[in-house]
Amino acid sequence: MARAPSNCRIRSTSIADVPRAELLARLSRALRDVPDFPKPGIVFKDITPVLADATLFAETTAAMAAPYHGRGITHVAGIESRGFILAAPIAQALGAGFVPIRKSGKLPWRSVGKEYALEYGTDRLEMHVDACTTDSQVLLVDDVLATGGTAAAACALIEDVGGRVVGCSFLLAIAALRGHERLRGRSLDVLVVA
Q: Which residues make up the interface to ligand AMP (CB under 6 A)?
A: 42-45, 79, 82, 118-119, 142-151, 179
182 is catalytic: no
SS (H, E, C) 20-87: HHHHHHHHHHHCEEEECCCCCCCEEEECHHHHHCHHHHHHHHHHHHHHHCCCCCCEEEEECCHHHHHH
CB of 46 to ligand AMP, least distance (A): 7
CA–CA gap between residue 167 and residue 96 (Å, rounded): 14
Pick 163 or 179: Cβ nearer ligand AMP: 179
Pick 25 or 43: Cβ nearer ligand AMP: 43
Pick 69 or 106: Cβ nearer ligand AMP: 106
CB of 117 to ligand AMP, least distance (A): 7
Say which of 59, 80, 119, 126 is annotated catalytic: 119
* Phi, psi dihedral angles at 168 (to 5 degrees): -125, 130
Contacting residues for 102 by C-beta, under 8 A, at least 6 apart:
80, 125, 126, 127
181 is catalytic: no
CB of 118 to ligand AMP, least distance (A): 5
Q: Active-site residues: which are they?
A: 82, 119
